Amino acid sequence: MPDQDLILSWIHTVVEATANVAFALSGLLAGIRKGLDLVGLCVVMGLAAFGGGTLRDVLLDRRPFFWVDHPTWLWVLIALGVAAIFFLRARDFEFTERAIQWPDALGLGLFAASGTQLALALQLPAIVSVLMGVVSATFGGILRDVVCNEIPTALRDRRPYAVCAFAGGWVYVLAVHFACPAGTAFLLAAAVAAGTRAWALLSRYELPAVRSAASGD
Amino acid sequence: MPDQDLILSWIHTVVEATANVAFALSGLLAGIRKGLDLVGLCVVMGLAAFGGGTLRDVLLDRRPFFWVDHPTWLWVLIALGVAAIFFLRARDFEFTERAIQWPDALGLGLFAASGTQLALALQLPAIVSVLMGVVSATFGGILRDVVCNEIPTALRDRRPYAVCAFAGGWVYVLAVHFACPAGTAFLLAAAVAAGTRAWALLSRYELPAVRSAASGD
Amino acid sequence: MPDQDLILSWIHTVVEATANVAFALSGLLAGIRKGLDLVGLCVVMGLAAFGGGTLRDVLLDRRPFFWVDHPTWLWVLIALGVAAIFFLRARDFEFTERAIQWPDALGLGLFAASGTQLALALQLPAIVSVLMGVVSATFGGILRDVVCNEIPTALRDRRPYAVCAFAGGWVYVLAVHFACPAGTAFLLAAAVAAGTRAWALLSRYELPAVRSAASGD
């Protein structure tokens, strides 16, 4: 069914572009909050958008990186940074922050599924492959926050983010184990990761933390 | 002497497991102090336990990583994080912190010796090999502290830690230079690194720092 | 013209040594300001001097690293750290900080040109190659500041630094495109990067940032 493949590939491209822009915008907002200059905005956007996938590829020893294969994205980030300097005002921020949560959830699903798929294809153990999905989906945000001199949001805000990627990764592993075609497994995994994230955003569910930490710190 | 090799390999496994748990616990305590959630605790434990060795392997271009070869350890970290959420209380912390100093010193010795050994086997210069031992032993803790938004303890607390790994690494280089068998050199190096660390803990010896910094900052 | 090549190579060695020392000194000063101990000073100097080039080489999958090929430099850093502990006083700092701006600008030019050259030789796209020059020139300082628990100066102080490396990189790409010999392209690129940096230091020109950030934060 080449038609279905073509449609899937086209959807993948659109979702990927949406997710990259959402990740980059999360970096842009973090950079603006910290008062970074044009260079800072571009670096933090780049880390947020490509940091997770690049770290995964360094760990898996894969080349070329996404941004080497698609260098146009580097121009998109620079253009976003320049546009932000000229057009953004403080009152736009809150709206933007809430608006990017949804494409960001799509990105989470996509990165979790593709990271797991890439690692499984290299014959890595299931838990390691799932972890590579989690790294792809979350370490962009972690690097963004480290460079902005913050404890990473993904590690402390108790909103499920990495665990959604973790769940999606296991869906991929199970689906492939039960002989699903790769495309179906990918869709299922991305849907579960993005869906649980969307559910967490809507329900305001919180992960547990050590109880005494809040009072003891 | 296969018997001796077997005993050595068994001791190595036990020491390694003890050291990994000690490194992971140091991450757990740092994460709890910072009020991280379950995901944060697992990430910081993973960085503390495997960050140094993984960075060394990325620099040396070695694969597979320790945690890819032994994925069970990833489950151990997740289980530790979950157990901490359910069972740890604030009053346990201080005891734990002092208790892990000793297995942590063992880990320092083990990582310093094995990092130096691996790098020498790749024909790297002596100073670079010793440095790889230091990186294995200390960068887990440095990454842990960077993600927790602290100046790394290893770089500022004046308690000898990296210098013990440095000393142990040179012991390995010298022992091999004077034709010691690799196993003996390994034991000597690990003993010197762990022993000097233990001595530093007991004697409260402090490294020098620039004198005016304390008053000028 | 072997004579010219010899002179160029000799100049390159001198400029490289000057730049490495300038980068290391920037790490030394940052470490002293933060009250780091001897180990901390050496680590931060190493990150400042070799972090950018090493990250570039990890991304490009190049080995050996500069400091593996020239391990003497590791001894130089250790010696600098020890000397700083014994000889530096607080009153020396301000002079040193201003004095190293100029060799640091040389280093910026050199790293921007060599990073771009290395990446182009690997057939990478122009924008990626220029970015590798920027990474070589700036990520040492970024890693130095991250470890010192600061928002990196290069990302927030509005003084052109990374953009000078960016400009120098494009000069290299254009020069090679118009069939300049590699040596000439290298010199032109390094001169433009270092020259624009020197001009920025003298003119106190500032990059734009999002206007509302200053008042909103």
Q: Report the residue of chain A nearest B72, measured CA to CA.
A: A127
CA torsion through residues C197, C199, C200, C204, sign = positive
ipTM of this predicted structure: 0.90
Percent of chain B with pLDDT over 70: 93
- Given CB atoms, is A123 within the 8 Å cutoff of chain B? no
pLDDT on residue B212: 54
Model confidence at B216, in pLDDT bands (50, 70, 90)?
A: very low
- Given CB atoms, is B79 within the 8 Å cutoff of chain A? no
pLDDT on residue B214: 44
Contacts of A170 in chain B (CB under 8 A): none
What is the domain count for chain A?
Answer: 1
pLDDT on residue A213: 44
Q: What is the pLDDT of residues A63-78, one digit of tens each?
A: 999 999 999 999 999 9
Tokens 């470890």 found at: C147
pTM above threshold 0.90 = yes
Q: Is residue B156 part of a domain?
A: yes
Q: Is residue A214 part of a domain?
A: no
Q: Is residue C198 part of a domain?
A: yes
* Cross-chain residue pair B38–A213, CB shorter than 8 Å: no
For the purposes of burial, counting CB atoms within 10 Å of the CB of B104, is it exposed (0-12), middle (13-18) or buried (19 or more)?
buried
Q: What is the pLDDT of residues A3-35, one digit of tens each?
A: 777 887 787 788 888 888 989 999 998 998 898
The set of chains that have 3 or more CB pairs under 8 A with C is A, B
Distances (CA, A) of A49 to A23, A32, B147, C216: 5, 16, 19, 25
Q: What is the pLDDT of residues B118-138, one digit of tens each?
A: 999 999 999 999 999 999 999
- Find out whether B120 and B129 touch, Cβ atoms under 8 Å: yes
Percent of chain A with pLDDT over 90: 67
Average pLDDT over chain B, rounded to whole? 89
pLDDT on residue C217: 38
Q: What does the pLDDT average to over B64-83?
A: 94
For the purposes of burial, counting CB atoms within 10 Å of the CB of A137, is it exposed (0-12), middle (13-18) or buried (19 or more)?
buried
- Given CB atoms, is A155 within the 8 Å cutoff of chain B? yes
Q: Is residue C97 part of a domain?
A: yes
Model confidence at B18, in pLDDT bands (50, 70, 90)?
A: confident
Residue A44 above 50 pLDDT?
Answer: yes
Q: What is the pLDDT of residues B22-35, one digit of tens each?
A: 899 999 989 988 98
pLDDT on residue B202: 93
- Given CB atoms, is A51 within the 8 Å cutoff of chain C? no
pLDDT on residue A217: 39
pLDDT on residue B211: 62
Phi, then psi, of B209 in degrees rounded to 5: -135, 170
Model confidence at A60, in pLDDT bands (50, 70, 90)?
A: very high
pLDDT on residue A96: 74
Model confidence at B204, in pLDDT bands (50, 70, 90)?
A: confident
pLDDT on residue A1: 52
Residue C211 above 70 pLDDT?
Answer: no
Q: What is the pLDDT of residues A81-127, one digit of tens each?
A: 999 888 876 666 667 778 888 888 999 999 999 999 999 999 999 99
For an interface test with C, the pick among B210, B215, B217 (most C C-beta atoms closer than 10 Å) comes out as B210
Q: Which ranges in B61-100 belong to alpha helices (H)?
A: 66-69, 72-87, 93-99
Percent of chain B with pLDDT over 90: 67
Percent of chain C with pLDDT over 70: 93
Type of residue at B10: W
Per mean pLDDT, which range of A95-109, A123-137, B40-54, C59-73 is the poorest? Answer: A95-109
Q: Is residue B108 part of a domain?
A: yes
Residue A215 above 70 pLDDT?
Answer: no
pLDDT on residue C45: 96
Q: Give the C-alpha separation, B128 to B133, whole Å.
A: 9
* Cross-chain residue pair B156–C36, CB shorter than 8 Å: yes
pLDDT on residue B9: 79
- Residue C58 is nearest to which of B58, B142, B217, comparing CB atoms? B58
Residue B213 above 80 pLDDT?
Answer: no
Residue B217 above 50 pLDDT?
Answer: no
The residue count of chain B comes to: 217
Q: Is residue B111 part of a domain?
A: yes
pLDDT on residue C92: 67
Q: Is residue A51 part of a domain?
A: yes
Nearest-Cα distance to chain A for C54, in Å, is 13
pLDDT on residue C91: 63
- Given CB atoms, is B15 within the 8 Å cutoff of chain C? no
pLDDT on residue A13: 81
* Cross-chain residue pair C149–B154, CB shorter than 8 Å: no
Q: Is residue C148 part of a domain?
A: yes
Model confidence at A216, in pLDDT bands (50, 70, 90)?
A: very low
Contacts of A38 in chain C (CB under 8 A): 163, 207-209
Radius of gyration of chain A (CA): 17
For the purposes of burial, counting CB atoms within 10 Å of the CB of B176, is it exposed (0-12), middle (13-18) or buried (19 or more)?
buried
pLDDT on residue B4: 75
The enclosing H or E element of C100 equals none
Q: What does the pLDDT average to over A150-172?
A: 94
Interacting residues of A177 by C-beta distance below 8 A, sequence separation 6+: none
- Given CB atoms, is B187 within the 8 Å cutoff of chain C? no
Residue C213 above 50 pLDDT?
Answer: no
By three-state DSSP, how is residue C37 classified? strand
Per mean pLDDT, which range of A143-152, B13-22, C89-98 is the poorest? Answer: C89-98
Q: Give the C-alpha separation, A187 to A12, whole Å.
A: 10
The residue count of chain C comes to: 217
By three-state DSSP, how is residue C216 classified? helix
Q: Report the residue of chain C nearest B210, measured CA to CA.
A: C85
Q: Give the C-alpha separation, B11 to B194, whole Å.
A: 15
Residue A108 domain boundaries = 2-207
